[in-house]
Structure 1
Amino acid sequence: MTKQCNKALVLLNMGGARNKDELKMFLTNMFNDKNILTVKSNLLRSIIAKFIVSSRLNSAWKNYEEIGNQSPINPLTEKLVDRLNDEFEDICVYQAMRYTPPFASEVVKDLELKGIKDVVLLPLYPQYSTTTTKSSVEDFQEAAKDKFNIEVIEPYYQNKVFNEALIDTIKNTVENPNEYNLIFSAHGLPQKIVDAGDPYEKHVNEHVKILSDILKEQGVEFKSISLSYQSKVGPMKWLEPALDKELEKYKDQKVLIYPIAFIVDNSETDFELSIEYKEEADKIGIVDYKVCKCLNYDEKFIKAIRDITKL
């Protein structure tokens, strides 16, 4: 990056593995995150994390093998960063991932070298959760050590330009919406995290209402519109309804999935939604099962970022 910048825009996300070693790194870092495993003892968290990683690594890697041995989040985010650097003349755009490279510490070093003092953090999570937004923002702030003037962009699921981009993606995925049941699929959370005050469920519900209203205003009629949650792990209670249970309602019907909690495609969209839940849909007897692509580096999302950040 050679352009002269007086400000930086840093995109925050969880990251994704490029190989099996990075998958181990991802899982280790994630389950050592105090916002994910909410036990008070760092030692106990570390012990639990080691157990989870050792038990899950091989099976998780088999999933990655089905999508080309790496998460799509990396090349797609790199493309988004490149597009934004072309868009902004005097703003340097970076990505900082929470659990795999490039880490916040690497970005901080480059910002210091360039003498940039003003930094805008844009979490690539439209709805707020302690497990995503809070974790990523705290991670960057700890790496920055008060070296910059930091502005954190608030949740933007209500932003008009952003939602117009989402609606366009939904409309462009199927020709006859009235033949499809639209399911907004959000990444699940343990119920205890929501009960402790996490606003994620509230934000997701509000977002579904906003998008449903826009579709209605535009005269786009789906057979039905609903919300469900994916990625449940373990025996504890998670947000409901679960996507696999929701799909059971639509035997002999058509279903369109929109991954409402994700902006960039990743293993949860390319494997879990597009392969794993597709297999469930086939067993149920759903006659057509489609998954919308995320916004990724869509031109309308670039415009939305301008509107959201006011840069």
Structure 2
Amino acid sequence: MKAGIIVLNFGEPEEPTAEHVVPFLERIFYTNASLEDQPTDEARRARSRQLAERRAPGLIAEYEEIGGSPLNQQAHAQAEALARELEARGHDVTVYSAFQYTEPLVAQVVAQAREDGIEHLIGLPCYPLCGFSTNVASLNDIQTAIDNLGWDGVKFEGITGWHRHPGYLELRADTLRRTIDEGGLDLTDGRTKLVFSAHGTPVKYLKEGSGYGSYVKEFCRELAALAGIDEYVIGYQNHANRGVEWTQPDVEAVIADIDADTVVVDPVSFMHEQSETLAE
């Protein structure tokens, strides 16, 4: 059975211009359109466009501040590294890279996999903490693309919920330990604090059954223990575009209130650098 893996990522615009940023944001807002009550699909798309145009100037400024997003390049490199590793282990697997909100879009890559004769398709979201608009939405995008193509013969499986995998935890703990050691820091001196910054999520998703809030707490607890750290604070990167309730506390409030001379911030929701890790 010919196998293929689609490595799924968020995607960010390659150029910080309205031409690229507005469609990117529009796709994100449309994916999360259920946060508001809109009577028709046309209304949901119009609202998504409105929100995208309103948010775009601020995001463009962030991209300019960080010199453009490195996410897509890093995501493609990750997929290429996975392909090399699987080949070295004797697996005959075709590895693809797809993005939810910029090209190559998931539907485009699924169509390519079908053309390539893939019989067993595996979706691998590169989000350690399973959330609605990331892991769930990206795997749903694959299934929707398969259905739209009428691709009846393919076996599809999704991999998610790997934030407690020992290998990943050790990787993150090692990075945290090295950051502290190289900075000559001491988290037990009373004046140096650790903040885990997690991407926020609308509370509505948690009430509807998403385990994201629990996953954040589990991951931070196990990461801190593995790194030998007793005290830390969790803050959330929230977006008030729709005026709905988000996870708390907000990371900006955490930083403003923290009693410390030095703060170590670890963004835990992503594997690659992007605006969420560099600008925020």
- What is the TM-score with the length of structure 2 in the denominator? 0.87
Q: Secondary structure at the match of 1:155?
A: coil
Q: Distance in 1 between matches of 2:160 and 2:193?
A: 31
Q: Which runs of 5+ in 1 are unaligned?
A: 273-311
Kindly provide the CA deviation profile for residues 114-151 of structure 1, in whole angstroms up to 9, marking residues without a partner as x: 21111111111112222211111111111122442111
Q: Which residue of 2 aligns with 1:58?
A: 57
2:24 counterpart residue number = 26
Whether the 8 Å contact between 2:83 and 2:94 is mirrored in structure 1 is yes
Q: Deviations over 1:211-256 (max 9, x none)?
A: 12222xxxx346x312110133143321111111111233552111
Cα distance in 2 between the residues matched to 1:59 and 1:15: 18
- For residues 238-277 of structure 1, the aligned pairs below 5 Å read 238-272=246-280
Contact 1:76 1:264 in 2 (8 A): yes
**C-alpha displacement of 1:266:** 1.0
SS of 1:185 mapped into structure 2: strand
User: What's the secondary structure of 1:263's corresponding residue?
Assistant: coil
Matched ranges for 1:153-172 at <5 A: 153-172=159-178
Q: CA deviation at 1:36?
A: 6.2
1:84 aligns with 2:82: yes
Secondary structure, counterpart of 1:184 in structure 2: strand
Supply the AA of the counterpart residue of 1:244.
Answer: E
* 1:186 corresponds to 2:198: yes
**Deviation at residue 35 of structure 1 after TM alignment:** 6.0
Q: How does 1:169-248 map to 2 (within 5 A)?
A: 169-175=175-181, 176-178=185-187, 179=189, 180-215=192-227, 220-221=228-229, 224-234=231-241, 235-248=243-256
**Which residue of the other structure, out of 83, 90, 95, is the alignment partner of 2:97?**
95
Contact 1:36-1:131 at 8 Å conserved across structures: no
CA–CA distance in 2 between the matches of 1:250 and 1:165? 27
Gaps in structure 2 of 5+ consecutive residues: none
How many Å separate the matches in 1 of 2:170 and 2:106? 31
Distance 1:199 1:101, change over 3 A: same
Query: What's 2:42 paired with?
Result: 43
State the alpha-carbon separation in 1 of the partners of residues 170 and 253 from structure 2: 29
Q: May I ask how many residue pairs the two structures share in their alignment?
A: 262
For residue 213 of structure 2, give the secondary structure of its aligned residue in structure 1. Answer: helix
**Secondary structure of the structure 1 residue equivalent to 2:194:** strand
Match of 1:112 among 111, 114, 136: 114
| Separation in 1, partners of 2:250, 2:81 | 36
Counterparts in 2 of 1:36 and 1:63: CA distance versus 1, 3 Å: farther
What is the deviation of 1:38?
A: 4.9
Distance 1:158 1:259 in 2: 16
Aligned partners of 1:127 and 1:261 also within 8 Å: yes
Distance 1:10 1:182 in 2: 34
* 1:177–1:221 Cα contact (<8 Å) kept: no
Q: Which residue of 2 aligns with 1:289?
A: none
Instruction: State the secondary structure of the residue aligned to 2:6.
Output: strand
**2:157 corresponding residue in structure 1:** 151
Aligned residue for 1:10, secondary structure, equals: strand
AA aligned to 2:9 is: N
Residues 14, 99 of structure 1: 8 Å contact kept: yes
2:8 alignment partner, SS class: strand
Q: Secondary structure at the match of 2:128?
A: coil
Q: Secondary structure at the match of 2:94?
A: strand
The residue type equivalent to 2:104 in the other structure is P
Assess if the C-alpha contact under 8 Å between 1:171 and 1:177 holds in 2.
no
Q: Does 1:15 align with 2:11?
A: yes
Q: Is the partner of 1:28 in helix, strand or coil?
A: helix
**Which of 120, 123, 147 is the aligned partner of 1:121?**
123
Q: SS of 1:228's equivalent? A: strand
Q: How far apart are residue 37 of structure 1 and its match?
A: 4.0
For residues 78 and 238 of structure 2, the distance between their equivalents in structure 1, rounded to whole angstroms, comes to: 26
Q: Give 3-state SS (helix, strand or coil) of 1:204's partner.
A: helix
Deviation at 1:39, TM superposition (A): 3.6
Name the % identity. 27
